[in-house]
Amino acid sequence: MTERPVAVTLSGVRNRTHLVHAASYVRHLLDSRAGEVVVRSLGTGGFLGRTTVTAEDVIGFLPDDPRLTVRTGPDPAALAPGREADWVYLAVGAPGIKPWARMVVHQPLHRPHVVVVDEGLGTYGTWRTRRDAWVRQGGGRLWPTLRAVAVSTAVARLTDERWALYLRDGLHEPTRWRVNPPVADEFRRRVSAPGARTDRAVYLAQPWVALGLMPAEDYLAHLREIGAAAAAAGLGFVVRPHPADPDGLYRDLPVAVGHGPAEMDPEVVAARVALGATSTALLNLAALYGTTAVRVRHPLLAHLDRELGPDQRSLLDQFVPLTAAAEDLAPLLAR
């Protein structure tokens, strides 16, 4: 194993799940090399105006190793670490065009090895699915289209290595997938010995109200109908809120409060069934732990399924094949 140190520049972190993916690659560096590893974060973001990840999270989620140093404050070496170290640009979802350009300006003769980890289900989409996701967040169509094309071009031309959770399994048609062990293990190692399955159905919420895709009362009525179906099947029912949900949204519903990704919450992992829509967490629970997962349809969200890219659709069809409307959910859960 090489003794050369590694300088890692990290960008694009907007939630704690992103840090799990980043941590799996940093752990890979520590396992495959003998030298020091320094991770410099270019900062963290949020979603829909909410800060969902902090500098303390960056330190807490990355591996605990005496050879690892994590720096979250402003650091000029993040853009030009010097030629005495191997340089990795670790990007979530896609290489940031502005950070990459600044790196080239600061150190044109020593460019980083660009590694892209998963942002979520969106990483497996196309430029059109990226555009549609940004349109849902507001801002018209022109700017999201230009941004989606630019990001997709950056992914294609700047990425040296994809460190993905889901890998194509050979040349099967239709596409078959398998989980990438080092990434999957990073999720699993953080779930402290999940026990036996509980007689509970957990609904993994998504910010449909905050995005303006569904009025709050319609969403709550939808969740109450799902809760009634779970009860009819002999299951308890709780909602796992999304970090971007408005405060107090689920005022009359049972709520499971968690402080980290659902995929690493032992209570969620141990649930008899996970419910949701086109959710990254729903996909991950099914693929990583074999949790029974059901996509619950609603007419106001039908366009989301139609807008899925081919890889996104095949991932969900393979790992979350069960779908039902809320009114048809009870007999499916009973089975």
Q: What is the DSSP string of 133-192?
A: HHHHTSS-SHHHHHHHHHHHHHHHHH-SEEE-SEEE-TT-SS--EEE-HHHHHHHHTTS-
Residues of the chain with CATH 3.40.50.2000: 195-334
CB of 60 closer than 8 Å to CB of 190 = no
Which residue, 87, 88, 7, 75, is CA-closest to 43? 75
Please give the structure tokens belonging to residue 20.
Answer: 């799990």
Alpha-carbon span 177 to 289, nearest angstrom: 15
Q: Which helix (H) or strand (E) holds 246?
A: none
| Residue 335 burial (CB count, 10 A) | 7
Alpha-carbon span 281 to 78, nearest angstrom: 31
CB of 284 closer than 8 Å to CB of 263 = yes
Alpha-carbon span 292 to 200, nearest angstrom: 11
pLDDT value of residue 142: 77
Which residue, 47, 45, 66, 64, is CA-closest to 55? 45
pLDDT value of residue 182: 97
Which residue, 137, 211, 164, is CA-closest to 28? 164
pLDDT value of residue 291: 94
Alpha-carbon span 261 to 106, nearest angstrom: 36
Amino acid (1-letter code) at residue 331: P
Alpha-carbon span 95 to 110, nearest angstrom: 17
Q: Tell me how far the alpha carbon of residue 63 is from its chain's centroid.
A: 19
CATH number of 6-164: 3.40.50
As beta bridge partners, residue 163 has: 117
Q: Tell me 124's DSSP state.
A: G
Mean pLDDT by 10 residues, the chain (335 residues): 92 95 98 96 81 90 97 91 94 94 91 96 88 74 80 90 93 82 94 78 94 93 97 96 90 86 91 95 96 96 91 96 96 91
Alpha-carbon span 310 to 117, nearest angstrom: 19
Alpha-carbon span 230 to 331, nearest angstrom: 9
pLDDT value of residue 139: 63
CATH superfamily label, 195-334:
Glycogen Phosphorylase B; (3.40.50.2000)
